[in-house]
A and B are shown apart, each in its own frame.
Chain A
Amino acid sequence: MNSSCSIRALWILNNQDTVLFSRRFPVVERRWNVAVNRANERCKGDQGFIVLPSSFPTDSEIAAAFTERKKREGSALGYGIRAKQSVEGSDSWVDDPIMRHILSLHVKKEENGEDYTFWPLILHAKVQYYILVLPLVEPEHLKAYNTLCRRSDCGNGVGVDGNLSSLLLQLPCITGAFMVAHVLGDIITSDIPEPEVVVSAGPSVGGLLDSLTGSIGISARPKPVAPPVAASTNSTAIGGGSLASDAPKTGPRNLDKDALRSFISTAMPFGTPLDLNYSNITAIRTNGFSPADVAPVDSKQPAWKPYLYKGKQRLLFTIHEIVNAAMYDRDEIPDSISVLGQVNCRAELEGLPDVLFPLTGLDSKRIEILSFHPCAQVPEQGGGDKQAVMFSPPLSNFVLLRYQAPCSIGVPVKGFYQLSMVSENEGAFLFKLSLMEGYKAPLTMEFCTVNMPFPRRKVISFEGTPSIGTVSYTKHSVEWKIIPSGRGVGAKSIEATFPGTVKFAPWKGQSSDDSGSVQGGDEDSDTEIEQGNSMVNVEEYLVEKMNKHLPAVDLEEPFCWHAYNYAKVSFKMAGTSLAGMMIDTKSVNIFPSVKVPVEYSTQVHSGDYILWNTLGKCPVAATPAN
């Protein structure tokens, strides 16, 4: 296993393929060249592949290589898995989805015209930026990759020697480079994810810098945005298929290069990352250390906690859950509903205390803990009910643990959605929903909206009145606000029905609404169905007709959303965890012992909460029998 985690260089490009920022680490590059010379020395004489020692590519060379790859692979991320257009030597030839994130670039040097292959380049696309990070690997890894992407055979089997998986397992530097790329992405978009911690009394509480600057009395930078955690990964899902990642995007024009440079020179001065904690690094950069910041005498100060908290002590927890559901309302397909949760924490505690957080009361058969924060000492598994996790909290907000579970109390929104096309341009639909059935206080639902997206049809009008709430429509969707935000309701069962019809503009094959390229449209008229009486069902006919123009979705999507009719439910609830996650504030202990107020709150958000059209097609996945 390659033991180092160093970076040779990194580049940040915009969506016009211009390099906006680059940083080369000559010390790491020197190591690469030493390794290359050594490897070439070794295989001198035999027919081994000689890796050319390379000089750094210039920004323009990288940009050209990136553009060339984009052309070859169809998009900046590329096909990933082997497609019709894939050629030997390209990333998609390797035939693996992760090749959309780990690229090779063929750089043509301007001075001598020679080609150099750079691999592995970690690609992280964030808003309009592409971040490329080149970690240091051994020359034989590059060779191994070259073999993978240039082999003329039909592609790798699973579990055989020399495959991509074992290569990735051997290369933690790739993992590290991804972490670097993600942090850089957060910095350039000023989108530093800080786990949200909510106190029952007021708004959410910001991160380390706020507490620091607050106590010092200066305002150093704008308050970091504290988005609902994990929302960024889920909210893009709706209609994401047509959202081509290469489309021009708007965003900040100039990235804050100074912020980047200062972060890099502290986080990885020589190219080997030391720490990627943005809050800590910024705090040190901005504030430095004052004479007041003295190290504790009785214990060692961890590297990840450069400052110690001073002031009024309290301990805050927020349980944050996302509910994903696929509601089918069919006998043959069971509904699936799952909760993904995390416990966010903010420990405003003086000194370097340890906190004992009880896991008692957790139904361990139902709730499965996915991971702990590195500051936690993980309890031995299988210890029964009397479990607790001990952690030494860092200064900023952090995610103590993540878990997944099935829904333990009733389904928040259940019922059905039926849509039937009565003619080519008119659909009749019916909703019958019940909300919070059997729920008890203190739970509240802050809002609940049902959205019927029609990304491929233009809505002209709709008719129908819901039993509760209001309805509006946009060009491509109908929205039913059952509980408008700001008018949250307590835990009471709500029945909501909504029959109606929706009219669409006549469907045109490849209208401008159809974003995304339609490949393989060369369907022969011969192969068409013999039309006329054989096509009894207008619905089937429509599906057949429209599917001819379905664009392929990105591999990041779970399925082709556009191929289905569905309603997406969005809601937010507070007061109770759907997974049954509880925090017994009285059992939270702090060592050395000190009495501090412990508060906790709960938030539940809908993720992909989908009601599939009961009368149409729906995506499914089999669940294992046991």
Chain B
Amino acid sequence: MDTTPSPSQPPLKPLTPQEWETLIDDHHHGGHRLHRWISSNYTSQPLFDLSLSSLLRKDLPLSLKLLISSFLEQHVTSLSPIPFIHQNLIHLLDTLRHVINSPIDPVTITYSLKEQLLISTTSIFIIFTINNNNNNNNSDNVKLSFVSELEGLIEVLLTIVNRTGYGLDRQLRGVACECLRELERECPGLLSETVGVKELRRVMSFLLEWPQYLTTFGLFEFMSVVMPVAVALELQASLLKVQFSGLLFTSDMLLCHAYLGMYLQFPEAFSGHENEVVRRVLLISREAQNALVFRLLALHWLLGFMGLVMSKTEVDKERIFGTALQFYPTVFDPLALKALKLDLIVYCSVMLDKSRLADANGEMDSNVGSSKGSVVKLFEDALESVSGFKWLPSWSTETSVAFRTFHKLLIGESSHSESGSSTRDLVESTIFHATERMLVTMTLESRGLIPVMAAFINRLLRCHKHRFLGEQLLQTFDNHLLPKVKVDYRLGSYFPLFGKIAENVTVPPGGLLDLLGKYMSILVEKHGLDTGLRSWSQGSKVLVLCRTLLMHHQSSRIFLGLSRLLAFTCLHFPDLEVRDNARIYLRMLLCVPGNKLRHLLSAEDQLPSSHSTPFFTVQSPRFSYDPKKSKDISSYIHLERVVPLLVKQSWSLSLASFNINGEKPNYMEVITDSNTPLWQPETPEENPESPSIPALEGPNQSQEPLRVTDSKVSEIVEVLRKHFSLIPDFRHMPGIKIGIQCTLRFESEPFNRVWGNKGSAELDLLHPALYATVLKFSSSAPFGSIQPYRIPFLLGGPTKNKIPSGQSQSDSLDIVPVNNGIVDEEKEEESFNARVLIELQPKEPTPGLVDVSIEANAENGQIISGQLQSITVGIEDMFLKALVPDDIHHDEIPGYYASLFSALWEACSSSSSTGREMFLLKGGKGFTAINGTRSVKFLEVSATSLIQAVEKNLSAFVVNVIGDELVNIVKDGGILSETTWNNDEASGSGLDVVAVDQYMTEGPLYLKYDEEEDEKGSNLHINKRNMGRFHILIFLPPTSHLLFQMEVGVNSTLVRIRTDHWPCLAYIDDYLEALFLS
């Protein structure tokens, strides 16, 4: 823009009224419409000159002149370049003088024109002559320029004002006064010489006496002038109070506001009137005649006012409560109004709750109980007014209002700016708990609200200050909603919420995984012809949640549950795509270490780029095997028996003749894609760990030759045939298995030393873990092929004995945030140990060593592989109870065992008449014969300790207890069950089977006599050398037996041993000695 046009430039061509209007419109509009005026020079100084001259033209209509005058005023800064200001002001003042002094005529010079020109001129003078100097700190430093012109203007104005006694132009005089007032306002003190102090006092006292004669805005303006003066002079506020108290009762909103302003200026003078003010302002909000926005404003004032007043004064609970009741929305209140009324109720609730807490901290308040109830009821009732949100669509305005209120309820009065600790207290508040309850109930009842709820929680989660509230809510949902939701197709609608739960690390994922598992099995169950699409959709959604879990949780936390769920899905889910995806996730979970896994999943939307670590750079596990590192793993990875052996066997006798092994050597299995999934769902019918006890097959079809036997022998043979027919023939079918319980654990510290990856996160170093561990077993002993055992995940434990306890303890406590953060010593111990079951299928009952090798993945993807310490298998591991036919009733089992014992005892005698008898084994193919051997062992051990040892280690095998004394002692102990009690040695009568919990085999001892008495022997009635007998029947897989008849004496016991597998005697001697004599 050309700012310095030549003054000699020829004046612009005058414009028609239409052109003028367009010009003014275009100047207001700006932009492109302005350009053509600028290009034709209708701008800046020339336009200013043209405007002034047009004002004086007689041919232009009055309205246009008014318009031009106002236009000049609004655009003068762009119309009057700085060098021309002085000249323009002179010119303007001349024009004003000319118009003012012209007599009124109805067409060209009217009062309106005079008034407008006065206003515009004053405006322009204010802009150009009054300069606020900002350069120094005195902000009221005002500098005047063009003083003589300004004085000229003031003179014109004063002339008009002073022409009193002339009624017609009183409006003009008013305008002139207004102009003077405006000048004085912009430059305080400008007119101080004109108006005397005396006059000022007179005016003040008049106005103070008759404020009601002013217009609303006039009164407001007056008050805004008087208030600072009153404050400065420390005027008695009571004077103002008397004069202005009525303002609060007027229907004029500005006056009400003015009253509130005054109140807040003089809070002391007005104290005690708070409730009246609150009541009055509330009434304003009820005036439906008023526009809604004023009613909303009134409620805001209330909130602001209560905030200011209540923070200073003592809170009277009854009063607040009474006030809060007044805020209840009515049914026809607009939702905007309802929202703000709910705010007020929230505010009152918060105040009440706060005062309740304060009371509770100090003196116990008798009201605590009742006010607690009522606070909750207060906002529950208030929310009724928007209760439609429970069934209206989630986007309804009612819903927004309701959730806005929930938000305010939850965060209470905690602001975001302060750093106070008060936020934590929120969670303790009554309101918080009540709100939580409401939200959970609501979600259960109205599933339409779930997306809203999810968004709501998200809002809290994203807030730096209230994140914990969101987490708290998620935990509440996890604890209270998950157990209550009905698992059916409708569960899908909860997924937005579940997504939030899955994302959040503070919520233990167990509950969710459990629920999803149930849901998946229901999807599988309900799958039919017409549900294909639905199964696919719901299954995919579950997988999305799984993915979310994978992304946001440490693999360690979710491993077990998630792997089970995924395995079940890829095994059983009807939809192929879902199965495939589940398999992919499962493999990722198993094979890809945590950090990389999360990275992979989160980068799903992006193409692999050079700077990221994409899928391709994940090292394939096969290449990261480092034999050097694997050398000494047995020093920190331990596989140990749960129950240690009694005899530390160092040798074993293996007889080739017994090793009937037609099987190929076993190769270790490798996980490949074609493999069946690793993890079976825990459905009872498919549990592979439960031993399969073969059922008795039909009538006995033995094809033995006829033989003449006496009745006793035939009875024995009958019993034995029945018995052997139960024993599976391991040569033709799976034999009987024995299980050895072990635990696998490893020490973190040495593990990290060897396997720690310096690049990986510190967190992972603290939590070394073994993934997808496979334990493989081999043995030179005739134990058959031993199935490898797989441990999906194992966390490293603290290195015992080495680190001083204090430090290490706290370290290890930090490690695993499992189990909802509850650090339970035992549980933690548990989480560092994996149970391992070694299942042997002995071809021969013999002790032996089982060699163990391990393969596992470390967190960083390296393969760990190597030998662990061998596991020793003792003879006692072979001890099994004899099988019982299905048709034997539970009550009859002791009897059956007793007769079986007798039969075997008889059959194993060297002179047995059953010697040549062949017994058909189960499966109908193989036979076995009994070739008995006898032995005797004398134990010098007291009866007490013998009985204890029997009860502890052999109780399951005792089939008969004979002799009053022994029976009485043992019965009192209550350990033995499934045993025949023979009180009278001779008759075997008095059978009395005590039904004790049959599973209780390893309990503590309950023998009731105390040691002291025992030593003295005073109370024991010992009249015989022999107190009684134990008959003990042990089945030794695959087909043999071991029988003990213990003749218990007070100080020694004679054990008569019979077996149909003589090599075992070699170990039995050691065993008995270890059992009874050590």
Residues of A within 8 A of B (CB): 1, 3-5, 19, 22-24, 26-27, 30-31, 34, 37-38, 41, 58-61, 80-84, 95-98, 100-101, 110, 124, 151-170, 172, 174-176, 178-179, 182, 229-230, 233-234, 237, 258, 261-262, 265-266, 269-270, 272-277, 284-285, 288-291, 293-295, 300-304, 322, 324, 326, 336, 338, 340, 342, 368, 370-378, 381, 392, 399, 402, 404, 519-520, 524, 526-527, 529-530, 547-548, 550, 552-560, 563, 607-608, 617, 619-626
Q: B25's closest neighbor in chain A, by CB?
A: A59
Q: Contacts A31-B186, A552-B397, A555-B335; is A265 near B115 (CB within 8 Å)?
A: yes
**Complex interface bits, B954-998 against A, C-beta within 8 A gives 1, otherwise 0:** 000000000000000000000000000000000000000000000
21 contacts between A and B (CB under 8 A): A26-B124, A34-B134, A38-B139, A60-B33, A153-B466, A154-B460, A157-B415, A178-B294, A182-B291, A269-B115, A274-B178, A289-B170, A293-B167, A300-B210, A376-B246, A524-B537, A526-B489, A530-B490, A547-B393, A552-B400, A624-B381
CB-defined contacts of A230 to chain B, threshold 8 Å: 288-289
Q: Contacts A168-B301, A608-B332; is A373 near B492 (CB within 8 Å)?
A: no
- Within the complex, which residue of B34, B124, B292, B413 is in contact with A233, where a contact is CB–CB below 8 Å? B292
CB-defined contacts of A289 to chain B, threshold 8 Å: 167-171
Q: Does B182 lie within 8 Å of A270, measured CB to CB?
A: yes
* Docked CA distance A290–B122 (Å): 27
- Within the complex, which residue of B115, B123, B464 is in contact with A27, where a contact is CB–CB below 8 Å? B123
- Within the complex, which residue of A3, A233, A373, A559 is in contact with B224, where a contact is CB–CB below 8 Å? A3
- Binding stretch for chain A, among B213-221, B890-898, B929-937, B1001-1009: B213-221
* Docked CA distance A550–B119 (Å): 54
| In the assembled complex, B463 has its CB within 8 A of some CB on chain A | yes
Which residues of B from 152 to 171 have beta carbons under 8 Å from A?
167-171
Q: Does B170 lie within 8 Å of A373, measured CB to CB?
A: no
- Within the complex, which residue of A30, A80, A156, A527 is in contact with B127, where a contact is CB–CB below 8 Å? A30
Q: Does B293 lie within 8 Å of A284, measured CB to CB?
A: no
CB-defined contacts of B276 to chain A, threshold 8 Å: 381
| In the assembled complex, B77 has its CB within 8 A of some CB on chain A | yes
Q: Does B391 lie within 8 Å of A617, measured CB to CB?
A: yes
Q: Does A550 lie within 8 Å of B254, measured CB to CB?
A: no
| In the assembled complex, B28 has its CB within 8 A of some CB on chain A | yes
CB-defined contacts of B216 to chain A, threshold 8 Å: 275-276, 374
CB-defined contacts of A399 to chain B, threshold 8 Å: 251, 289
Looking at B246, B249, B254, B401, which has the most chain A CB atoms within 10 Å of its CB?
B249
* Docked CA distance A625–B427 (Å): 29
* Docked CA distance A178–B300 (Å): 15
* Docked CA distance A548–B169 (Å): 67
In the assembled complex, the CB of B138 is this many whole angstroms from the nearest CB of chain A, namely 11
CB-defined contacts of A558 to chain B, threshold 8 Å: 331-335, 338
Q: Does B413 lie within 8 Å of A274, measured CB to CB?
A: no
- Within the complex, which residue of B218, B225, B291, B407 is in contact with A154, where a contact is CB–CB below 8 Å? B407
Q: Does A59 lie within 8 Å of B29, measured CB to CB?
A: yes
- Binding stretch for chain A, among B65-73, B504-512, B716-724: B65-73
Q: A277's closest neighbor in chain B, by CB?
A: B215
CB-defined contacts of A608 to chain B, threshold 8 Å: 332
Q: Does A97 lie within 8 Å of B217, measured CB to CB?
A: no
Q: A549's closest neighbor in chain B, by CB?
A: B393
Q: Contacts A158-B413, A373-B251, A548-B393; is A37 near B167 (CB within 8 Å)?
A: no
CB-defined contacts of A293 to chain B, threshold 8 Å: 167
CB-defined contacts of A324 to chain B, threshold 8 Å: 288, 332
Q: Does B67 lie within 8 Å of A261, measured CB to CB?
A: yes
- Binding stretch for chain A, among B90-98, B342-350, B678-686, B838-846: B342-350
CB-defined contacts of B73 to chain A, threshold 8 Å: 26
Q: Does A372 lie within 8 Å of B116, measured CB to CB?
A: no
* Docked CA distance A84–B296 (Å): 23
Q: Contacts A159-B306, A160-B414, A556-B334; is A41 near B392 (CB within 8 Å)?
A: no
Q: Does B29 lie within 8 Å of A58, measured CB to CB?
A: yes
**Complex interface bits, B399-415 against A, C-beta within 8 A gives 1, otherwise 0:** 01100100110011111
| In the assembled complex, B559 has its CB within 8 A of some CB on chain A | no
Query: 18 new A-B pairs (CB below 8 Å) besides A153-B416, A622-B328?
Result: A3-B261, A58-B34, A98-B296, A154-B463, A159-B303, A166-B307, A174-B297, A277-B215, A368-B283, A372-B250, A376-B250, A520-B395, A524-B537, A552-B395, A555-B339, A558-B333, A621-B329, A622-B385
CB-defined contacts of B227 to chain A, threshold 8 Å: 3
CB-defined contacts of A262 to chain B, threshold 8 Å: 66, 112
Q: Does B127 lie within 8 Å of A27, measured CB to CB?
A: yes
Q: Does B293 lie within 8 Å of A178, measured CB to CB?
A: yes
- Within the complex, which residue of B34, B283, B325, B489 is in contact with A530, where a contact is CB–CB below 8 Å? B489
Looking at B250, B326, B534, which has the most chain A CB atoms within 10 Å of its CB?
B250
Interface of chain B, main secondary structure: helix
Looking at A41, A168, A182, which has the most chain B CB atoms within 10 Å of its CB?
A168
CB-defined contacts of A169 to chain B, threshold 8 Å: 260, 264, 300-301, 304-305, 308
Q: Does B254 lie within 8 Å of A175, measured CB to CB?
A: yes
Q: Does A557 lie within 8 Å of B465, measured CB to CB?
A: no
- Within the complex, which residue of A30, A371, A624 is in contact with B328, where a contact is CB–CB below 8 Å? A624
- Within the complex, which residue of B217, B288, B344, B400 is in contact with A83, where a contact is CB–CB below 8 Å? B400
Q: Does B74 lie within 8 Å of A23, measured CB to CB?
A: yes
Q: Does B415 lie within 8 Å of A168, measured CB to CB?
A: no
Q: Contacts A163-B307, A265-B66; is A552 near B336 (CB within 8 Å)?
A: no
- Within the complex, which residue of B385, B392, B415 is in contact with A162, where a contact is CB–CB below 8 Å? B415
Q: Does B447 lie within 8 Å of A527, measured CB to CB?
A: yes
* Docked CA distance A550–B167 (Å): 64
For the complex of A and B, the 8 pairs showing the least CB-CB separation, nearest first, are A58-B30, A3-B224, A169-B304, A97-B336, A154-B463, A160-B415, A165-B303, A624-B325
CB-defined contacts of B492 to chain A, threshold 8 Å: 524, 526-527
* Docked CA distance A273–B224 (Å): 14
Q: Does A273 lie within 8 Å of B303, measured CB to CB?
A: no
Q: A326's closest neighbor in chain B, by CB?
A: B331
